[in-house]
Amino acid sequence: VGTVSMFRLDRIQHECEDAIVITERMLIDAVRATLPKKDLEVIETAREFLYEKVPYIRLNYCHIMVVQHLERLTSLVKLELNNNMIERISGLSHMTSLKYLDLSFNNIEKIEGLGGLVWLEELSLFQNKISILENMDDCTELIFLSVGRNSLSNLEETILYLRKFQKLRSINLMDNPLCNEPGYKTYVLALCDNLYYLDYYKVNTLEKDKADKEHAVLKYNLTTSEAKEAERREQQQRDEERLESYKCAFVDHFHDDILFDMMMKSDPESRIYQAIPGIEEHLEALKQRMAEMCAELFRLGFENYNRRNEERVEFEKCVEKTLDNIRWKSYQVTEEFINFKNDLEDEIRTDYMGVNDEQSIASYESKLKALEKALLKLEAFLIDQIDELEKDFERNLREISTPTIEHTQHQFSQMREYMEEYYTTLTDQCESARKRLDTLFGDDVATRKHFVDKDSIINLISSSREVNMLVIDAEEDRFLTAINEWIDTTMEEIHIRLDEDRNRKAVLEITRMMENYSDALAVMFPQTMLI
């Protein structure tokens, strides 16, 4: 296999001398050259080339400039792209199973395109044109990193970045400008605690202890600073998750004083009457009452959100139980046919002359047709079962949400009533202020014009009331619409996933199974089937 693979690889390299992008032909040839025959039999079937099952591919010395056409290699574990002309890392983010990546001996100037490679353990960027380590934060499983013979010049910046990777055991930084810094080795050994190898040399315990003592103060300060930063990030993440849960529950405008602040922001003219003595007290009372009502809205919305999620989990459990039941029944009927097929093959091997070809073929085809019918019948039964589960689930969601909607409407109705009371009080206060314009506003002509007569006051209050009522109406509509839309969207997503996509895949799988078993019949009786 090794000799054949080397021959194929040489041919690929020869064909790729002028190539600058990865072609599909190059990809297939590389897979054939890289993998042993037993692995190829799984990937390269008679009907198609299963890219998604390729575990390893070698595309070195191919004059590749642009990395592309690798989207279908979703299960790739090892990828070799060394000794090419690659200038930019791209087209790899979908390879979430990748553990080994070799990009050495290329023309890469910037580390990028590694987002999503969360299982990457070994990365080689040896002999490129990289001047800074960056954009590798997703690669938390990194054990081996080679960035030797690049343009890394800032020792402190480089090593502080590498401290992020707690599982890193081997680093190669040789032949970078930073290696010429005084105390390079002790600095790296002190700050990268878990190293076994540095520049391909095993880390000596005595050297490590000496480095730790030499940089003890720096290490302590860094550790303390990093601990505080980690705590800050964790708190930030918790806050972000909390706010995200508020959005998912559609109550993100009902916590703290957000709704009240939205009303004040939408009503800039409110500052005109806020200058009147006594108004500030009423405004503070309004703010307090709004906070109480919003807290109740928040409780209603979040309670509904939790109950919807609980119902969703229960629904998925029921679906999985139903699927398992059908899978088991499908396995049983398929196993029965496989046993028949195996018995027939054994009979052919032991006593071929005693086998009646026509009778055996007819029996095989009859049982195959019965298998197909049984599997399709089970699939039809499954569709009906899932449909019933979906109807029950939707009915439960609407039953859960109906009380929430009714209580929310009542709460917003109370909010409007309180706003009406507030504006009645505000009108009286403004009418009283009209009689004391000189005392209250002096020469402030811009403010005085709103209080010259009763109509001016009514216009000011009406404008403010209308704006704030619109904000309240919009929030009520947003919340109630969001719940109903969530139910509709969820049911549509479930229908597509469980009914359309799953059914399509199941029928396709049954069809392929029938084709494969039909092909097996031709193998068992080649002469008879040819006739």
Question: What does the pLDDT look like over 165-198, one tens digit per residue?
Answer: 999 999 999 999 999 999 999 999 999 989 999 9
Residue 25 pLDDT level (bands cut at 50, 70, 90): confident
Question: What does the pLDDT look like over 98-120, one tens digit per residue?
Answer: 999 999 999 999 999 998 899 99
pTM of the full predicted structure? 0.67
Q: What is the pLDDT of residue 459?
A: 78
Look up residue 511 and give its DSSP letter: H
> Which three-class secondary structure state does DSSP give residue 201?
strand
Burial 373-389 (b: 16+ CB within 10 A, else e): ebbeebbeebeebbeeb
* Residue recorded with tokens 């041919």: 11
Burial (Cβ within 10 Å: 0-12, 13-18, ≥19) of residue 84: buried
The total of other beta-carbon atoms located within 10 Å of residue 471's CB is 18
**For residue 7, pLDDT beyond 60:** no
**For residue 41, pLDDT beyond 80:** no
Domain ranges in the chain are 1-85, 258-530
Closest CA to 262 of 302, 292, 294: 294
Q: What is the pLDDT of residue 441?
A: 58
If you average pLDDT over residues 496-510, what whole number do you get? Answer: 92
Residue 239 pLDDT level (bands cut at 50, 70, 90): very high
Residue 530 pLDDT level (bands cut at 50, 70, 90): very low
Q: Which amino acid is at 342?
A: N
* Residue recorded with tokens 């703290």: 256
Question: What does the pLDDT look like over 316-375, one tens digit per residue?
Answer: 999 999 999 999 999 999 999 999 988 888 887 776 565 567 788 888 889 999 999 999
Contact 59, 30 (CB under 8 A): yes
Burial 147-160 (b: 16+ CB within 10 A, else e): bbbbebeebeebbe
DSSP class per residue in 87-155: -S--S-TT-TT--EEE--SS---S--S-TT-TT--EEE--SS---S--S-TT-TT--EEE--SS----H
Sequence-distant (≥ 6) Cβ neighbours of residue 283 within 8 angstroms = 274
